């Protein structure tokens, strides 16, 4: 029981923290290397392939769904992996090779 | 609200690295040189310093993680012992059952979003394009004639196509076996199974992708008369192997051998000689009966022997007798001579002997004794000599 409670608290902290942290921003600044982002409601969903085409500095994007299944997209060989949709209010790991600013509104 | 943000951000800083972590190992696998697609083959990734038991796999191509032809994509953070920067990982295409594999490639994990592995090429297993097994007499084809009391050289010759270059073919072995009473995996036995683990590989044959493989077998005279199978196994430097086989019929061999002359010691006129014994050996590969006949100086002369002195210079054929099953030692009279022994004849007569062919590789067990006596009539003297013709006839049921 305690285990599930901890998981629940952990998930709430992760998700709500990011949502609040990124709330109300019109752009997201990504540093070189790993970044965890959660896009605000104002952002329109888009395919990861399109995101990478817009920002070729992105090398990889990863999303882990509720069943802990991992979806990854890597910017190599013209783009490989799952072309999943990036929705607002979900957490994604984006790895970039240099600092960039996402303007997705 | 600010306090909540601060609290949450703190928790995130502590916990987010645990929520997310992915590091992709990606690479390209070229199709095999024989044209086989790399797609849908399985690639294996592991950390050699941990061991291959902790591994990850991906399907190459559109049905795998990459969704792109010939590409694979593995998140090495999913290893039980997650990968870390600086780890050296190893990858290779494993055998899905179609014999297609690849060499191994190493990659070092970096801090980038992914690491690209040097290109792999799907290995083509060697292909046995033709194979023929026969003896040195090729007409008629696919028939092997054994040699009495000796071995026959049988050659299994194959042409191998090795698309990765002839030098990648590293080993060739062959097994030659009775296709009815034995099989590829049976143990060696001169009656039905032979193995050659060091076949000759002729790299100068054909073009740079072709190798001639020659496997020789010394096949004993008592090898079963049956359809025999030569199965050749060739292996390349990545342990990918292929087999090819051909059949040839080992013909029946009727042959026998005698270990000595039949020598009767001095016999007084009007008496029967002591029993003389002679071994008959089956030097063929079927059960045999005996065809027996005799003559003095020329065939069909009705004599068993011709003699150097005396008023009568020959011994009639019916005075020489034999027993093919049992010995009767000691002095016997004419009555016993008549009942216990069978007359030799001038024309060949087939007698049941049922001498099976050799089955024991260490000791020749295809030997039976025969027993002989001769009656010397009055008027004969001096040295007498004659001839007995032993012939082998295939016994029923062999």
Mean pLDDT over residues B6-19, rounded? 41
Which of A13, A34, A81 lies nearest to residue B66, judging by beta carbons?
Answer: A81
Is it the case that residue B7 has pLDDT exceeding 50? no
CB contact under 8 A, A20 and B4: yes
CB contact under 8 A, B68 and A78: yes
C-beta of residue A36 within 8 angstroms of C-beta of residue A64: no
- pLDDT score, position A48: 95
C-beta of residue B317 within 8 angstroms of C-beta of residue B303: yes
Q: pLDDT averaged over chain B?
A: 93
The A-side interface with B (CB below 8 A) comprises: 10, 13-14, 16-18, 20-21, 33-34, 36, 58-60, 62, 64, 70, 72, 74-83, 91, 93, 95-97
- pLDDT score, position A68: 84
Select from B2, B5, B6, B8 the residue whose CB has the most chain A CBs within 10 Å, as the one to mutate to test that interface.
Answer: B8
CB contact under 8 A, B26 and A76: yes
Q: Among A25-29, B242-246, B249-253, B280-284, where is mean pLDDT lowest?
A: A25-29
- Contacts for B91 with CB less than 8 Å, ≥ 6 apart: B25, B27, B43, B44, B45, B74, B104, B105, B106, B107, B117, B120
C-beta of residue A80 within 8 angstroms of C-beta of residue A74: yes
pLDDT tier at B19, thresholds 50, 70, 90: low
Question: Rounded to two decimals, what is the model's pTM?
Answer: 0.79
d(CA A60, CA B110): 14
Among residues of chain B, what percentage have pLDDT more than 90?
88
d(CA B38, CA A34): 32
CB contact under 8 A, B20 and A95: no
CB contact under 8 A, B26 and A77: yes
pLDDT tier at B285, thresholds 50, 70, 90: very high
Helix, strand or coil, per DSSP, at residue B325: coil
> Which has the higher per-residue pLDDT, B178 or A67?
B178
d(CA B345, CA B366): 26
Residue B89, beta-bridge partner list: B107
- Contacts for B17 with CB less than 8 Å, ≥ 6 apart: none
Tell me the per-residue pLDDT of B301-334, one tens digit each, with 9 for 90 and over.
999 999 999 899 999 999 999 999 999 999 999 9
Count Cα neighbours of B154 within 13 Å in the Cβ-side half-sphere.
37
CB contact under 8 A, B71 and A75: no
C-beta of residue B324 within 8 angstroms of C-beta of residue B340: no
d(CA B25, CA B34): 27
Residue B156, beta-bridge partner list: B133, B215
Tell me the per-residue pLDDT of B35-80, one tens digit each, with 9 for 90 and over.
999 999 999 999 999 999 999 999 999 999 999 999 999 999 999 9
Residue of chain B whose Cα is closest to the Cα of A69? B78
Mean pLDDT over residues B79-108, rounded? 96
Tell me the per-residue pLDDT of A7-49, one tens digit each, with 9 for 90 and over.
555 555 444 444 444 444 567 899 999 999 988 887 889 999 9
Mean pLDDT over residues B270-281, rounded? 95
Is it the case that residue B290 has pLDDT exceeding 70? yes
Radius of gyration of chain A from Cα atoms? 14
Which of A33, A64, A79 lies nearest to residue B20, judging by beta carbons?
Answer: A64
B330 in reach of chain A (CB within 8 A)? no
B15 in reach of chain A (CB within 8 A)? yes
Residues of B in contact with A15 (CB under 8 A): none
- pLDDT score, position B113: 86
Q: pLDDT averaged over chain A?
A: 81
b/e map of B38-62 (b: 16 or more CB within 10 Å)?
bbebbbbbbbeeeeeeebbebbbbe
């Amino acid at each position: 029981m305690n285990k599930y409670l901890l998981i629940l608290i952990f998930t709430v902290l992760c998700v709500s923290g990011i949502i609040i942290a990124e709330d109300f921003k019109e752009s997201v600044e990504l540093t070189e290397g790993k970044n965890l982002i959660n896009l605000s409601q104002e952002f329109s969903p888009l395919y990861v392939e399109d995101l990478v085409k817009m920002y070729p500095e992105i090398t990889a994007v990863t999303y882990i769904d509720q069943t802990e299944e991992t979806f990854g997209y890597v910017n190599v060989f013209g783009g490989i992996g799952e072309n999943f949709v990036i929705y607002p209010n979900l957490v994604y790991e984006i790895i970039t090779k240099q600092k960039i600013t996402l303007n997705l509104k | 609200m600010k306090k909540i943000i601060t609290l949450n951000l703190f928790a995130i800083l502590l916990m987010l690295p645990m929520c997310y972590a992915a590091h992709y190992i990606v690479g390209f696998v070229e199709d095999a040189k024989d044209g086989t697609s790399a797609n849908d083959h399985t690639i294996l990734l592991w950390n050699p310093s941990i061991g291959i038991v902790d591994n990850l796999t991906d399907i190459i191509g559109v049905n795998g993680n990459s969704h792109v032809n010939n590409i694979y994509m593995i998140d090495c953070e999913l290893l039980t012992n997650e990968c870390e920067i600086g780890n050296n990982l190893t990858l290779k295409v494993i055998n899905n059952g179609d014999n297609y594999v690849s060499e191994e490639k190493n990659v070092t994990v970096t801090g980038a979003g992914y690491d690209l592995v040097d290109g792999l090429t799907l290995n083509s297993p060697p292909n046995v394009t033709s194979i023929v097994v026969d003896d040195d007499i090729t007409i008629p084809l696919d028939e092997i004639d054994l040699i009495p009391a000796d071995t026959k050289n049988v050659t299994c010759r194959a042409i191998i196509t090795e698309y990765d270059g002839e030098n990648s073919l590293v080993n060739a072995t062959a097994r030659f076996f009775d296709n009815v009473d034995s099989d590829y995996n049976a143990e060696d036995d001169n009656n039905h199974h032979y193995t050659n683990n060091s076949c000759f590989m002729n790299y100068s044959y054909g073009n740079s992708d072709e190798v001639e493989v020659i496997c020789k077998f010394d096949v004993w005279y008592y090898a079963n008369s049956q359809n025999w199978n030569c199965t050749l196994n060739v292996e390349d430097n990545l342990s990918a192997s292929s087999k090819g086989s051909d059949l040839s019929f080992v013909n029946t061999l009727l042959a026998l051998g005698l270990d000595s002359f039949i020598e009767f010691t001095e016999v007084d006129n009007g008496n029967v000689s002591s029993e003389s014994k002679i071994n008959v050996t089956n030097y063929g590969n079927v059960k045999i009966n005996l065809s027996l006949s005799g003559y003095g100086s020329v065939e069909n002369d009705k004599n068993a022997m011709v003699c150097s002195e005396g008023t009568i210079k020959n011994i009639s054929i019916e005075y020489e007798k034999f027993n093919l099953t049992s010995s009767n030692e000691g002095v016997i009279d004419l009555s016993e001579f008549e009942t216990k022994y069978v007359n030799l004849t001038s024309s060949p007569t087939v007698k049941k002997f049922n001498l099976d062919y050799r089955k024991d590789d260490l000791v020749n067990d295809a030997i039976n004794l025969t027993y002989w006596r001769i009656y010397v009539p009055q008027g004969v003297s001096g040295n007498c000599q004659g001839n007995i013709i032993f012939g082998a006839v295939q016994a029923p049921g062999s």
